[in-house]
Amino acid sequence: MAALPRDLTEDQQALQVLNRLAFGPRPGDVAAVRAVGVDRWIEQQLQPESMADTSAARTEAAFALLAGSPAELMERSPPPAIVARQMQRAGDVPTMDDSARYREMQRTQGQMVAQLQASRVARAVGTERQLEAVMTEFWLNHFNVFIQKGPTMRHYLASYERDVIRPHVFGRFRDLLGAVAHSPAMMIYLDNAQSMADSTHLTQLEMRARPNALGRPAPRRRAGLNENYGRELLELHTLGVDGGYTQQDVINVARAFTGWTVDQPAKGGPFLFRPGMHDADAKQVLGQLLPPGRGIEDGEEVLDIVSDHPATARFIVRKLAVRLVSDSPSEALVARAITTWRRTHGDLREVVRTLVLSPEFFARTAWRAKVKTPFEVVVSAARAMGAPVDTTPRSAAAVAQLGQPLWGHMAPNGWPDQARDWMNTGAILNRINFGFAVGANRLPGASTTNWAVAREIAQSPRAAQVDRVVLELLGGDVSPDTREILNTGAHPLGDAAAQQASAPAPRADTTVMNANANVSVNADPMPMRNGTAPPRPAAGPVGRAGAQLFRALPPLSGLPQIVALAIGSPEFQRR
């Protein structure tokens, strides 16, 4: 490809790819990217299958509860609610031993949730296949599922990430969409597992039994259709809300997917198509006729239709451009990537390549144009501090504390990805306090004394320390004011204002509140909260781990303070 003009300097280009196509630079990464060459680095990242990834293998080994198929997880760590129900059915009277076993099972469930959350942070921090991890997070969010949707969901999530999403992030969109549609996690989350032909339509089994039944026999009463997956497939997964479909399309798509269900979810069973649930009458979807008498082909054809639909290309391409380039990508860039989509029939590797090798990607207007999500704040801080992979729940707890509990987005639209969604008073306060927590060595593995950079500058004067921290954590690019404030403490508010700003709140009433008090943000859609049973099954262990993050932070001075201020600074909130 001919070199296109790029606004950014070589160093900035290296930072740009590390901030957008990776989760931020580790110490030494900018030099490493420059040594390979920015374009060649991108090319390597687009071919993750050809990269060794020892870190990811080590990460997987650390999360033993997640190893294996959903059925194996279910066998090993059954949900207490299901075991209790089985006992109740068997008429067993619970003993003290059963109670103890029940509590132990609950504890294991909590640990499994903690590992599900922690493993995502660990992989993002550690993997060499950074772009694959970025895209996996993108698609996990696009095809959002919620961990508290029923007691079996958590057993499917490791597989959802590992087997459904990740293998397809550089494949064709149709294959990714198909893998999701065939996943128990999505079929359970959006209720398709329960959706069946309503009483006015023949199922495939009924039609087979009476091949000539064109009139309407009176089929037995059925619970009927659930439109949830049908609607979100069109609105959120493919065409987008303005994609030009009707309510009748939603109904007919839902009819096409009747019978797409899960075989024995209480045993962690796989996807299953049940002809006895499938509405086999004719239906029309987006102007195309699905003939009567068919089975699973109905849903497959719908997936073909929506994957090929021009509205889908536009919706997905634009969402990718917003993730990778800026909150308001140019129409020209989107149009070029749509052309790539059409030419390659939705090859996601080629679409991403078009976006990230574009002049727009390396334009000045794209520099620091994105505000980091809480996940990106925590992961980029860990990487910048050279932290080893954290196998405890604490880093994931920090992500939750900043307002983005992993697997914890209840609504199917996923977390938002634009600055306005993540920036508000509560969010800023949390991010500033997170910076202080990192300065106080509260983020596991991130130590201001063991940091490779710290060892080099520990004895340097403050000005030199500031320069180096600005280089490592803020890409060397801050305003003179910022540098001055970090350096001398002189700032426009003056000393009196500074004293006032930091005076502790007067307190007549000394009621002590929760030690794990924290402030959270109103980012459009919402975080996880009490779902199926008190006490919160999913947030439990993470909640306790999160409690330590902000608790009783010590006074910060010297290099730890500079690090804290840099991570809490406005510049670090951007990428």
Partner 1 sequence: MRRRVFMKAGALSLVTMGLSPSFLRRSAYAMARGPAGKGRVLVCLFQRCAADALNVLVPFGERAYYQARPGIAVPAPKAGAANVALDLDGFFGLHPSMAPLVPLYQRGLLAPVAAVGSPSNTRSHFDAQDYMETATPDVKGTTSGWLNRYLAAKGTCEECLVNGKPSAFRAVALTAQTPRILEGPAATVAMDGLDAFALRASNPDAAARIEALYRTGQADVVHASGNEMFEAMKMLRAANPQQYAPRNGAQYPAGPFAQKLRQIAQLIRADVGLELAFADVGGWDTHVNQGGATGQLANRLDEFAKAIAAFVQDLGDKMGDVTVLTMSEFGRTVRQNGNGGTDHGHATTMFVIGDGLKGGKVHGRWPGLAPELLYEGRDLALTTDFRAVFAEVASRRLGATALDAVFPGFNTSSAGWLGIA
Site for partner 1 in 332-391 (CB under 8 A): 371
To partner 1, the closest distance from the beta carbon of 238 in angstroms equals 14
**Residues 7, 363: Cα–Cα separation, whole Å:** 5
Give the angle subtended at the CA of 120 by the CAs of 114 and 125, to the nearest 5°.
120
Options 40-48, 295-303, 344-352, 401-409: segment touching partner 1 (CB under 8 A): 401-409
**Residues 139, 193: Cα–Cα separation, whole Å:** 22
Among 233, 23, 6, smallest CA distance to 128 is for 23
- Euclidean distance between the first and the last CA atom of the chain, given in angstroms as a whole number: 26
Site for partner 1 in 137-156 (CB under 8 A): 146, 148-150
Options 39-47, 196-204, 278-286, 410-418: segment touching partner 1 (CB under 8 A): 410-418
Give the angle subtended at the CA of 242 by the CAs of 241 and 243, to the nearest 5°.
95
Binder of partner 1 out of 413, 447, 450, 548 (CB under 8 A): 413
- Helix 425-439 to helix 374-384 angle (10° resolution) is 20
Binder of partner 1 out of 190, 233, 262, 277 (CB under 8 A): 190
**Residues 99, 515: Cα–Cα separation, whole Å:** 30
Nearer to partner 1, 193 or 280 (CB): 193
**Residues 159, 167: Cα–Cα separation, whole Å:** 11
Please report the DSSP string for 140-182 in residue order: HHHT---TTSSTTHHHHHHHIIIIIIGGGTTSBHHHHHHHHHT
Residues in the chain, how many? 575
To partner 1, the closest distance from the beta carbon of 466 in angstroms equals 11
How would you class 319 by CB atoms within 10 Å of its CB: exposed for 0-12, middle for 13-18, buried for 19 or more?
Answer: middle
Site for partner 1 in 227-266 (CB under 8 A): 228, 231-232, 235-236
Nearer to partner 1, 71 or 556 (CB): 556
To partner 1, the closest distance from the beta carbon of 431 in angstroms equals 9
To partner 1, the closest distance from the beta carbon of 99 in angstroms equals 11
To partner 1, the closest distance from the beta carbon of 522 in angstroms equals 4
CB 280 within 8 A of CB 204: yes
Q: Is 54 in the site for partner 1 (CB under 8 A)?
A: no
| CA 124 vs CA 93, 132, 381, 428: distances in Å | 46, 9, 12, 23
Binder of partner 1 out of 425, 455, 458, 461 (CB under 8 A): 425
**Residues 114, 205: Cα–Cα separation, whole Å:** 43
To partner 1, the closest distance from the beta carbon of 468 in angstroms equals 17
To partner 1, the closest distance from the beta carbon of 143 in angstroms equals 14
Residues 6+ apart with CB under 8 A from 223: 194, 196
Tokens of 118: 């922690």
* Beta bridge pairs of residue 273: 260
- Matching residue, tokens 């809480």: 374
Binder of partner 1 out of 62, 272, 428, 471 (CB under 8 A): 428
Q: Is 501 in the site for partner 1 (CB under 8 A)?
A: yes
Nearer to partner 1, 291 or 461 (CB): 461
Options 15-23, 387-395, 428-436, 465-473: segment touching partner 1 (CB under 8 A): 428-436
Nearer to partner 1, 136 or 430 (CB): 430
Binder of partner 1 out of 66, 400, 443, 559 (CB under 8 A): 400
Binder of partner 1 out of 172, 423, 447, 471 (CB under 8 A): 423
Nearer to partner 1, 7 or 191 (CB): 191
Q: Three-state secondary structure along 211-276?
A: CCCCCCCCCCCCCCCCCHHHHHHHHHHCCCCCCCCCHHHHHHHHHHCCCEEECCHHHCCCEEECCC
Site for partner 1 in 480-499 (CB under 8 A): 481-482, 485-486, 489, 491-493, 497-499
Options 13-21, 51-59, 61-69, 408-416: segment touching partner 1 (CB under 8 A): 408-416
To partner 1, the closest distance from the beta carbon of 331 in angstroms equals 23
Nearer to partner 1, 78 or 403 (CB): 403
Nearer to partner 1, 1 or 508 (CB): 508
Q: What single-letter amino acid sits at 438?
A: V
Q: How many residues bind partner 1 (CB under 8 A)?
A: 95
CB 290 within 8 A of CB 284: yes
Site for partner 1 in 88-127 (CB under 8 A): 88
Binder of partner 1 out of 16, 433, 441, 465 (CB under 8 A): 433
Local structure of 417: helix, strand or coil: coil
Binder of partner 1 out of 432, 462, 476, 477 (CB under 8 A): 432
Give the angle subtended at the CA of 88 by the CAs of 87 and 93, to the nearest 5°.
75
To partner 1, the closest distance from the beta carbon of 414 in angstroms equals 10
154-183 footprint of partner 1 as x/- string (CB under 8 A): ------------------------------
Site for partner 1 in 513-572 (CB under 8 A): 513-514, 516-536, 543, 550, 552-557, 561, 564-565, 568-570
Binder of partner 1 out of 79, 346, 386, 405 (CB under 8 A): 405
CB 546 within 8 A of CB 400: yes
To partner 1, the closest distance from the beta carbon of 70 in angstroms equals 20
To partner 1, the closest distance from the beta carbon of 223 in angstroms equals 10
Site for partner 1 in 434-473 (CB under 8 A): 435-437
To partner 1, the closest distance from the beta carbon of 508 in angstroms equals 4
Q: Three-state secondary structure along 81-128?
A: HHHHHHHHHHCCCCCHHHHHHHHHHHHHHHHHHHHHHHHHHHHHHHCC
Site for partner 1 in 267-296 (CB under 8 A): none
To partner 1, the closest distance from the beta carbon of 198 in angstroms equals 15
Nearer to partner 1, 121 or 565 (CB): 565
Local structure of 536: helix, strand or coil: coil
